[in-house]
């Protein structure tokens, strides 16, 4: 049973089987959000996701980056990512039309960022998430 269903821009429906939220800057005790910090946050999230989902392909949706008019420190200008980092494990029908539709599904784990902890639902999901190229990124697996 899925948590929710998301309809991609391609028209494909994908079921969300697992969803993990974390605060983008939750562990940041000092400093300020900037490109080097954000790159470290993203790399750490990718490593954690690879360990949590070792048998599925992983795709990072490039996060939007904002540059508020604030004082630039020693690491460059302030660069802010959305406040919530999301990792979702999605399933859908098989990609290969020769696979038995009863025995096969396709899977993809997606990392994206969004401003709230709102669970994506059908067509009401972050636009970048809906643009994921499922056919190019997902992989079939046998049940």
Q: For 22-80, write each residue's pLDDT tens digit.
A: 999 988 778 899 999 999 999 999 999 999 999 999 999 999 999 998 888 888 999 99
Average pLDDT of the chain, as a whole number: 94
Residue 121 predicted with pLDDT over 90: no
The tokens for 26 are 């939750």
| pLDDT class of 135 with cuts at 50, 70, 90 | very high
Task: Output the pLDDT for position 2.
Answer: 87
Query: Does 46 or 123 have the greater pLDDT score?
Result: 46
The whole-model pTM stands at 0.92
- Listed residue (20, 31, 104, 115) closest to 66, CA to CA: 115
Residue 105 predicted with pLDDT over 90: yes
| pLDDT class of 1 with cuts at 50, 70, 90 | confident
Task: Output the pLDDT for position 125.
Answer: 87
List, as one string, the DSSP characters of the chain: --SEEEE-TTS-EEEEEEEEEEETTTT--SS--BHHHHHHHHHHHHHHHHHHSTTS-EEEPPPP-B--S---BTTBSB-B--SEEEEEEEEEE-SSTTS-TTTEEEEEEEEEEESS-PPPBBTBS-HHHHT--HHHH-EEEE-
Task: Output the pLDDT for position 122.
Answer: 84
């Amino acid at each position: 049973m899925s948590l929710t269903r998301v309809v991609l821009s391609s028209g494909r429906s994908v079921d969300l089987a697992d969803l993990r939220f974390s605060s983008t800057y939750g562990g940041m005790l000092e400093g300020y959000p900037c490109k080097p910090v954000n790159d470290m946050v993203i790399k750490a999230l990718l490593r954690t996701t690879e360990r949590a989902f070792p048998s599925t392909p992983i795709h990072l949706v490039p996060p939007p980056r904002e540059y508020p008019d604030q004082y630039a420190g020693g690491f460059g200008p302030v660069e802010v990512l959305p406040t919530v980092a999301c990792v979702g494990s999605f399933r859908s029908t098989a990609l290969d039309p020769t696979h038995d539709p009863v025995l096969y599904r396709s899977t993809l784990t997606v990392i994206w960022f969004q401003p709230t902890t709102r669970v994506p639902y059908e067509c009401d999901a972050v636009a970048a998430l809906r643009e994921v190229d499922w056919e190019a990124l997902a992989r079939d697996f046998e049940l």
